[in-house]
Amino acid sequence: MSSSPNVPAVEVAGLVKNYGKVEALRGIDLSIAPGEMFALLGPNGAGKTTLFSILSTLRTPTSGTAKVLGRDVVVERDATRHDIGIVFQEPAIERSLTVRDNLKLMGRLYGLDAAAVRKRTEELLVQLQLSEAADRPAQNLSGGQRRRVELARALVTDPRVLFLDEATLGLDVEARRGFWKQVRGLTVSGRSIVFATHYMEEAEVADRIALIAEGKIVALDTPRNLKAQMGGGVIRLQTTDDAQAREWLVQRGYQPAPGVQPIMLEHKDPASIVPILLRELPVKVERVEVNAPSLEDVFLKLTGKALSDETAATPPAGKKGGWS
Amino acid sequence: MMSGIWAIVMLDMQRFFKERVRLIAGLIQPLLYLFVLGSGLGASMRMGPPGGIPGSAPAFDYRAYIFPGVMSLALLFSATFAGITIVFDRQIGFFKAVLVAPVPRAAIGIGKVVSGALQALIQGTILLCFLPLMNIQISFATVLVIPAMILAALTFSALGVAMAARFTSTNVFPILTNAIMLPMFFLSGAMYPLQPAPVWMQRLAHLDPVAYAVDLMRGALLGRDHMFFESPGLSVAVLSGCIVLLTWSAVNVFRKGEELDLTGPTKFTWRK
């Protein structure tokens, strides 16, 4: 709690990480302010977990630097470990121990004395509404409760920076909503929260979002500005001959997002353009969708890829067969 | 440092007492060796004194002779397998939670070794209760078996931790430890005297920490005459050296965090 408010919570410059021939991170630069809620949005395998592994001292970068609260995470490992809390994708609590014993264990690992361990454990149990489950073995908890225990575990030392790596993995919609409500309450007293997700709805709660794909940041801005890139709306077309339709659109000066299926077109006034398209396109239009731009659309536009397999594989209702 | 060791030991002991089955099951094998194999073999075998020099050692029965060997068996298997918690913890994310805590890596290694040794010593202590049933003269020197047991348990636990630190698969770990432990046990002279054994076996026994541990315990229980190695001091030094080296090698793995993990599935990965 000693650093000045001007020091970035996280500062990463030119960060590269290779696993043998695989390039997991290909030059990441970002700076996250104290008190900021920051999302890393990208599909599985984009490098989010690798970035967290480096920031949490579990891995070392191939090149580049990473600092937490102004301290280099490779050089000052112990100081970094004191400053951060992290929730991993995988469960990281001992299943056979009770919730209370799990938290006490973590308190001891963080060097708290017996009295402080007790005090902090009880505080966290109340704060995360786990008092009622405190004496149950972790394996008997519901998925949502278990993630709250993970959160409590990461908060044992009251960290200035909290990392959440796909922390809602495997939770149903209800439990996910509850989890984020809890997390939003944690940005108190200048604590920064950096979280990775491949659900765009989750990223919306962030102050800023970095869209990350194949080890690189492809865009970084507020959710509003990211979506503003897309103009007024997004039109999706499915036709009897997409290739021909695409060609025609390009000739007419429209800019369908390259490589995206179905045809995706952004326009500042979709409502007025759709009738024209329907009338003039030389191929038969089978389906039209007009939506306000979403983060998913931004990602599709920038990378030509979907955020998650689920969204890509889910055809709209009523559609027979796949999009491609 | 101390609080880190304490945290790790507490964790493992809490888990150990939740799995009492392991404690009971772990005792079955040593008791079988002692009472079934020991009684059966002992009845059909007339053993001469070690070294084949008549009259140089007092008469003794086989079961008493193998008691320290069986003790080392109990300690070896339970201490080495205690290390498997590391592999389990790696398979889920729990070990990462330990590694991101600002606890010294040495504390993690020492804590793991100590807790494994404690678990083995609990079994060893239960086994020790059968000592009065053996044909062993109890004297003041008998007490020396306790420090010998502690040294042995620490050595075997360090061996288990040093191996477990390098595994991510709970399938492979027991197979490999068995493949290493059985030869170590057979060569140790736990079940027979090494003095009349072929020279190659005696040589190999010099490389076997289990042999030194058995020898120390046997010396404490049966007297100097039954000891194989040159001096108890040497055995203590060898075992202490093993504890330090093996613990250090595990700590070195912990220092690397997740770094040795290959990409892709972690199952069946052999960490170097």
Distance from the Cα of residue A62 to its chain's centroid: 23
**Strand, coil or helix: B144:** helix
Are the beta carbons of A62 and A14 closer than 8 angstroms? no
Interface check A88 vs B, CB under 8 A? yes
Indicate the pLDDT class of residue A27, thresholds 50, 70 and 90.
very high
Whether A22 and A169 share a structural domain: yes
> Between chains, do B93 and A56 touch, taking CB under 8 Å as contact?
no
Whether A160 and A201 share a structural domain: yes
Shortest CA gap A285–chain B (Å): 43
Chain B residues lying within 8 Å of A163, measured CB to CB: none
Q: Does residue A5 lie within any of the structural domains?
A: no
Q: How many domains does chain A have?
A: 2
Task: Select from B17, B5, B174 the least CA-distant residue to B83.
Answer: B174
Whether A40 and A89 share a structural domain: yes
CA distance B15 to B83: 13
Whether A210 and A285 share a structural domain: no
Q: Does residue A322 lie within any of the structural domains?
A: no
pLDDT at residue A226, rounded to an integer: 86
pLDDT at residue B188, rounded to an integer: 93
A289: domain CATH number is 3.30.70
Average pLDDT, chain A: 86
> Going by DSSP bridges, is the β-strand pair A263-267/A285-291 parallel, antiparallel, or unpaired?
unpaired
Shortest CA gap A226–chain B (Å): 32
Tokens found for residue A66: 């990473």
Given CA atoms A85, A88, A93, A99 in this order, what sign does their dihedral have?
A: positive
Indicate the pLDDT class of residue B135, thresholds 50, 70 and 90.
confident
Whether A250 and A298 share a structural domain: yes
pLDDT at residue B22, rounded to an integer: 80
> Between chains, do B94 and A105 touch, taking CB under 8 Å as contact?
no
CA distance A266 to A256: 7
Interface check B7 vs A, CB under 8 A? yes
**Last residue of a domain, which of A167, A187, A221?**
A221
Chain A residues lying within 8 Å of B262, measured CB to CB: 19-20
Of all residues in chain A, what percent carry a pLDDT higher than 90?
45
Range of the domain at A246: 229-313
* Other Cβ atoms closer than 10 A to B75: 30
In chain A, count H helices and then E strands. 12, 13
Number of inter-chain CB pairs under 8 A, A vs B? 84
CA distance B245 to B65: 31
CB nearest A109 (choices: B7, B18, B262): B7
Whether A211 and A72 share a structural domain: yes
CA distance A101 to B228: 47
What are the Cα distances from residue B266, in Å, to A183, A245, B53, B98, B163? 30, 46, 56, 18, 16
Q: Does residue A79 lie within any of the structural domains?
A: yes
> Between chains, do B103 and A110 touch, taking CB under 8 Å as contact?
yes
DSSP letters along A261-324, please? SSEEEEES-HHHHHHHHHHH-SS-EEEEEEE---HHHHHHHHHSS-SSHHHHH-PPTT--S---
pLDDT tens profile B45-89 = 655 544 444 444 445 678 888 999 999 999 999 999 898 889 888
pLDDT at residue B268, rounded to an integer: 35
pLDDT tens profile A62-103 = 999 999 999 999 999 999 999 999 999 888 999 899 999 999
pLDDT tens profile A226-278 = 888 877 788 888 888 888 888 888 888 888 887 777 888 888 888 888 888 88
Q: Which long-range contacts (C-beta less than 8 Å, at least 24 apart) are formed by A145-150?
A: A146/A91, A146/A93, A147/A87, A147/A171, A147/A175, A147/A179, A148/A179, A148/A182, A149/A93, A149/A99, A149/A102, A149/A103, A150/A87, A150/A88, A150/A91, A150/A92, A150/A93
Task: Select from A191, A251, A215 the least CA-distant residue to A23.
Answer: A215
Q: Does residue A2 lie within any of the structural domains?
A: no
Indicate the pLDDT class of residue A300, thresholds 50, 70 and 90.
confident
Q: Does residue A4 lie within any of the structural domains?
A: no
Are the beta carbons of A76 and A153 closer than 8 angstroms? no
pLDDT at residue B153, rounded to an integer: 97
Chain B residues lying within 8 Å of A59, measured CB to CB: 257-259
Indicate the pLDDT class of residue A5, thresholds 50, 70 and 90.
low
Interface check A103 vs B, CB under 8 A? no
Whether A214 and A242 share a structural domain: no
> CA of B9: which chain A residue's CA is closest?
A105
Interface check A153 vs B, CB under 8 A? yes
Distance from the Cα of residue B1 to its chain's centroid: 25
Of all residues in chain A, what percent carry a pLDDT higher than 70?
93
Whether A87 and A144 share a structural domain: yes
Tokens found for residue A117: 């361990």
CA distance B203 to B90: 38
- Between residues A170 and B156, which one has the greater pLDDT? B156
Which residue has tokens 């970002």? A30
Q: Does residue A320 lie within any of the structural domains?
A: no
Shortest CA gap A323–chain B (Å): 30
For residue B7, is pLDDT > 90?
Answer: yes
For residue B174, is pLDDT > 60?
Answer: yes
> Between chains, do A86 and B100 touch, taking CB under 8 Å as contact?
yes
Are the beta carbons of A233 and A293 closer than 8 angstroms? yes
**Last residue of a domain, which of A193, A221, A249?**
A221
Give the range among A36-45, A131-140, A171-180 with minimum mean pLDDT: A171-180
pLDDT at residue A4, rounded to an integer: 58
Are the beta carbons of A239 and A285 closer than 8 angstroms? yes
For chain B, give the longest Cα–Cα distance.
65
For residue A3, is pLDDT > 80?
Answer: no
Peptide bond into A5 cis (omega under 30): no
- Between residues B117 and B171, which one has the greater pLDDT? B117
For residue B132, is pLDDT > 80?
Answer: yes
* Other Cβ atoms closer than 10 A to B231: 11
pLDDT at residue B183, rounded to an integer: 93
Which residue has tokens 């507020």? A222
Whether A253 and A165 share a structural domain: no
pLDDT tens profile B204-255 = 999 999 999 999 999 999 888 888 988 899 999 999 999 999 999 999 999 9
> Between chains, do B259 and A110 touch, taking CB under 8 Å as contact?
no
A33's CB contacts (< 8 A; 6+ apart) are A8, A9, A192
Indicate the pLDDT class of residue B25, thresholds 50, 70 and 90.
confident
pLDDT at residue B254, rounded to an integer: 92
> Between chains, do B257 and A57 touch, taking CB under 8 Å as contact?
yes
State mean pLDDT over A142-153.
90
Interface check B257 vs A, CB under 8 A? yes
Shortest CA gap A215–chain B (Å): 14
Interface check A135 vs B, CB under 8 A? no
Give the range among A18-32, B32-46, B234-248 with minimum mean pLDDT: B32-46
Task: Select from B18, B41, B58 the least CA-distant residue to B192.
Answer: B41
Tokens found for residue B219: 């010396």
pLDDT at residue B260, rounded to an integer: 67
> Between chains, do A111 and B102 touch, taking CB under 8 Å as contact?
yes
Whether A128 and A190 share a structural domain: yes
Chain A residues lying within 8 Å of B105, measured CB to CB: none
Indicate the pLDDT class of residue A57, thresholds 50, 70 and 90.
very high
Looking at this predicted complex, what is its ipTM? 0.81
Whether A116 and A204 share a structural domain: yes
**Last residue of a domain, which of A177, A192, A221?**
A221
> Between chains, do B259 and A58 touch, taking CB under 8 Å as contact?
yes
Interface check B124 vs A, CB under 8 A? no
Interface check B13 vs A, CB under 8 A? no
pLDDT at residue B56, rounded to an integer: 42
Q: In what order do the strands lie in the sheet with A10-19?
A: A22-32, A10-19, A63-68, A71-72
CA distance B251 to B106: 6
**pTM score, two decimals?**
0.84
Whether A39 and A104 share a structural domain: yes
Chain B residues lying within 8 Å of A54, measured CB to CB: none
Beta bridge partners of A30: A12
Q: Which amino acid is at A322?
A: G
State mean pLDDT over A185-196.
87
pLDDT at residue B46, rounded to an integer: 59
A121: exposed, middle or buried (C-beta count within 10 Å: 0-12, 13-18, 19+)? buried
